Chains A and B, each alone.
Chain A
Amino acid sequence: MTAQPAQLTPQEVEQPNTTAGVKRGKTDRGNQLLFLRNAKVISGLIVLGFFTVIAIIGPAIAPYDPDALGDDIVAPPSAQHWFGTASLGQDIFSQVLVGTRSVMFVGFVAGILATIIAVVVGVTAGYLGGAADEGLSLLSNVFLVLPALPLIIIIAGPLDGAPNIVVAVVIAVTAWAWGARVLRAQTLSHRRRDYVEAARANGESTPRIVLAEILPNLSAIIASSFVGTVTFAILTQVTLAFIGVTGLDQWSWGTVLFNAQSNQALLRGAWWWFVPAGLCIAAVGVALALVNFGIDEFVNPRLRSTGKYARALKKRGVRARVGFTPVDRRDDAAPLTPSTQKEAS
């Protein structure tokens, strides 16, 4: 072999570079919403979107009035009654459709309210420190040990058929404390970091430091705390309906289960009475968990590329870890494809 240098003509070198420049701009923009392209997140969001649509249009598309009595009593699923009928001939499919609204409404309203309270209390306590921190921490510690369910029963019970918004507010009030504690701890750790000190030295106002500098760093925790609270709120709403606190005229998946339980559906072998509502609860829970998984991977800008190609890397046996740089001797002819492109094709 001679020592002749491998010569590259300008065209050969420039071509990949120009395309690289163009593509780079594209992927930079794409990275902002990258978590939306993760397979887990997509499936979770699709399921959540489906139930949200049902929550909105459910009462309108329900084939029967969920309370209307019918002739077929405890009939198994059929063409007329997709999920069968209940003890007085009510259509269970309509009950589930109509009941979706309460569940989703309470879940998301409670989740949003609780997350807002958690962020306000937690970040304020963590950033201000001192007496404010003491007071707010005490407050969240008190709420942390409040037994949520009994409290909700006590508050909602006398209201007799408490409306959804009241249930949502009560759940939010009992569910924010855990998130606030986690956010306070994380804010404490960020408060003394150099970038915050620099912002302070630059004369940024306290609200701006908190909102523009610190809050983006907490987005993963806020998002997963929101998802967790929604899950908790949905389960609590179903539980309240199941034990009859929310009133029987207000349909919810829990109400369906309450009826199934009080009419001994299991003993009668009427599986269609409780299985659909149970599956709906499970599906929403799984969807929320899937969204939660996806969030962590993409909030850290440094890990985005890793997350984006996670599947292709795994296939190749490359594990990207801190402290053990992967050695990947693949040939250049086969570039990695992002996980999401594979999903699309």
Chain B
Amino acid sequence: MTAVTSASGLAASQVADPILEIRELTVEYGFGENPVRVLDHVNLTLGRGELLGLAGESGCGKSTLAYGATRLLPPPGVIRSGEVLFHGRDREAYDILELKDRELRAARWQDFAIVFQGAMNSLNPVHRLGDQIMDAVRAHRPKTSKAEARDRAAYLLDMVGINTDRMKAYPHQLSGGMRQRAMIATALALEPELLIMDEPTTALDVVMQRQILEEIADLRARLGFSVIFITHDVSLLVEVADRIAIMYAGEIVEQAGAQDAYRRPRHPYTKGLLSSFPPLRGARRELGGIPGSPPDLAALPAGCPFAERCPHAFDRCRIEDPTLGPTAFAATEPTRLVACHLHDLAPSEVPAELSLR
């Protein structure tokens, strides 16, 4: 326990003005005698105005982390421990996990909004686009007049680059990209301070992906909200994110600035992820990939969950699960965190590909 506490203290100290602090979050699936522990005491801090990318292979707990922190996990998901502190602007911080149903319902959308995976299917097919945005506004702010809500909806659609005459359109009359942008507009309707986006561009073509990412970056610059951006496309994150957290088997294995993580990965898993796609610039290199697949979370091996696939694994990795801590180069990069035993070694002993400066 002590190790975990110190790691969370470190994580918290990294971010001066946090908006969301996930501390020791543990999530299980199943209620019985053998629940599967999907997240095990995960710590993550999101700074105000920051765009944090969550990356990792499928089934590594990215979405579980985001939905667990906002209590959107469907049964049989259970949150078993931890706290999720939301630091609203000019307000006392509150723990999302302690909220009553009514408070939670009020906080959603208002404080933190979520754009789901395949969000374009979240639009109700029988209501007009404008009406749906107006509904969202009026549901949370009943005092808003109809005209105000309509103005707001038009403004929001305009903001994401949809012509306001589309207010009268039904969802099936819009393309996938437009619907996705409309969902982003809807998510921003109440000016949330935190936007959680779960693979918002996965179902879209690259052109639309580009447009939407630029849209998000632009909106964030204008409105100043924070974003948790979940994707398995690390190259995308490098472009848009300020900071990247890499997840593996329900744990965060590396946290670093986007460029740092990209150019100087410290965890072998990060290195593997990065060598799984070709670089756009620079010298051509062999595509590496990562052999094997993530472990079964219901039967995690002892030690580091990545040990089996790790080219640098040594004896200690198979016995002891590393915790998130400073890298071997903490003196020069105090804000980077990594969960790897290699970084307990002297800097000179860390493999060359994980010690780029």
Interface residues of A (CB under 8 A from B): 1-10, 13-14, 17-18, 20-21, 23-24, 27, 302-303, 305-306, 308-309, 312-313, 318, 320-330, 335-338
Let me know if B299 is at the binding interface, CB within 8 A: yes
Given A324-B71, A327-B79, A328-B78, are A2 and B32 also a contact pair (CB < 8 Å)? no
A4-B75 Cα distance, complex, nearest whole Å: 36
A324-B100 Cα distance, complex, nearest whole Å: 10
6 contacts between A and B (CB under 8 A): A10-B318, A14-B302, A17-B299, A20-B34, A323-B72, A328-B79
- Which of B2-10, B49-57, B143-151, B154-162 makes up part of the contact surface? B2-10
In the complex, the answer to whether B34 meets A27 with C-beta atoms within 8 Å is yes
In the complex, the answer to whether B3 meets A6 with C-beta atoms within 8 Å is yes
Let me know if B76 is at the binding interface, CB within 8 A: yes
In the complex, the answer to whether B71 meets A325 with C-beta atoms within 8 Å is yes
Let me know if B97 is at the binding interface, CB within 8 A: yes
A325-B322 Cα distance, complex, nearest whole Å: 29
A45-B61 Cα distance, complex, nearest whole Å: 42
In the complex, the answer to whether B302 meets A10 with C-beta atoms within 8 Å is yes
Q: Mark B182-224, 1 if CB is under 8 A from A, else 0.
A: 0000000000000000000000000000000000000000000
Q: Which residue of A2, A325, A329, A335 is within 8 Å of B73 (Cβ)?
A: A325
Given A5-B320, A5-B323, are A306 and B31 also a contact pair (CB < 8 Å)? yes
A6-B7 Cα distance, complex, nearest whole Å: 12
Chain B residues with CB below 8 A from A336, complex form: 31-33
Chain A residues with CB below 8 A from B3, complex form: 3-6
In the complex, the answer to whether A325 meets B77 with C-beta atoms within 8 Å is yes
In the complex, the answer to whether A305 meets B32 with C-beta atoms within 8 Å is yes
**6 closest cross-chain pairs (CB), A and B:** A320-B75, A13-B302, A309-B31, A5-B3, A1-B2, A325-B73
In the complex, the answer to whether A326 meets B34 with C-beta atoms within 8 Å is no
Q: Which residue of B32, B72, B98, B300 is within 8 Å of A308 (Cβ)?
A: B32
Let me know if B298 is at the binding interface, CB within 8 A: yes
A8-B72 Cα distance, complex, nearest whole Å: 32
A336-B35 Cα distance, complex, nearest whole Å: 10
A27-B298 Cα distance, complex, nearest whole Å: 14
Chain B residues with CB below 8 A from A303, complex form: 75
Chain A residues with CB below 8 A from B73, complex form: 325
Shortest Cβ distance from A18 into B: residue = B299
Chain A residues with CB below 8 A from B323, complex form: 5
In the complex, the answer to whether B80 meets A329 with C-beta atoms within 8 Å is yes
Given A4-B2, A326-B79, are A21 and B299 also a contact pair (CB < 8 Å)? yes
Chain B residues with CB below 8 A from A308, complex form: 31-32
Counting residue pairs across A and B whose Cβ atoms lie within 8 Å, the total is 115
Least CB distance from A16 to B in Å reads 9
Given A2-B2, A23-B34, are A305 and B75 also a contact pair (CB < 8 Å)? yes
Let me know if B177 is at the binding interface, CB within 8 A: no
Interface residues of B (CB under 8 A from A): 1-6, 30-34, 67-68, 71-81, 97-98, 101, 104, 298-303, 318-323, 325
Given A5-B320, A10-B318, A325-B78, are A20 and B32 also a contact pair (CB < 8 Å)? no
In the complex, the answer to whether A302 meets B76 with C-beta atoms within 8 Å is yes
Shortest Cβ distance from A7 into B: residue = B320
In the complex, the answer to whether A3 meets B2 with C-beta atoms within 8 Å is yes
Chain A residues with CB below 8 A from B318, complex form: 10
Shortest Cβ distance from A321 into B: residue = B75
Least CB distance from A308 to B in Å reads 7
In the complex, the answer to whether A10 meets B299 with C-beta atoms within 8 Å is no
A328-B68 Cα distance, complex, nearest whole Å: 12
Least CB distance from B138 to A in Å reads 20
In the complex, the answer to whether A325 meets B299 with C-beta atoms within 8 Å is no
Shortest Cβ distance from A338 into B: residue = B32
A20-B296 Cα distance, complex, nearest whole Å: 12
Chain A residues with CB below 8 A from B4, complex form: 6
User: Which of B5, B68, B76, B77 has the most A CB atoms < 10 Å from its CB?
Assistant: B76
Shortest Cβ distance from A318 into B: residue = B78
Chain A residues with CB below 8 A from B77, complex form: 325
Least CB distance from A268 to B in Å reads 57
Chain B residues with CB below 8 A from A309, complex form: 31-32
Chain B residues with CB below 8 A from A337, complex form: 33
Least CB distance from A344 to B in Å reads 15
A23-B318 Cα distance, complex, nearest whole Å: 25
Given A10-B319, A302-B75, are A327 and B31 also a contact pair (CB < 8 Å)? no
In the complex, the answer to whether A313 meets B2 with C-beta atoms within 8 Å is no
Chain B residues with CB below 8 A from A323, complex form: 71-72, 74
User: Which of A14, A325, A326 has the most B CB atoms < 10 Å from its CB?
Assistant: A325
Q: Which residue of A5, A313, A325 is within 8 Å of B79 (Cβ)?
A: A325
Chain B residues with CB below 8 A from A322, complex form: 74-75
Least CB distance from B30 to A in Å reads 5
In the complex, the answer to whether B97 meets A327 with C-beta atoms within 8 Å is yes
Q: Which residue of A5, A21, A329 is within 8 Å of B81 (Cβ)?
A: A329
Shortest Cβ distance from A21 into B: residue = B299
Task: Give 18 A-B pairs besides A13-B302, A323-B72 with Cβ atoms closer than 8 angstroms.
Answer: A1-B6, A5-B320, A6-B1, A6-B4, A8-B302, A10-B302, A17-B298, A18-B299, A20-B298, A21-B299, A302-B76, A306-B31, A322-B75, A324-B104, A325-B74, A327-B98, A330-B80, A335-B33
In the complex, the answer to whether A326 meets B302 with C-beta atoms within 8 Å is no
A338-B35 Cα distance, complex, nearest whole Å: 13
Shortest Cβ distance from B68 into A: residue = A325
Least CB distance from B342 to A in Å reads 15
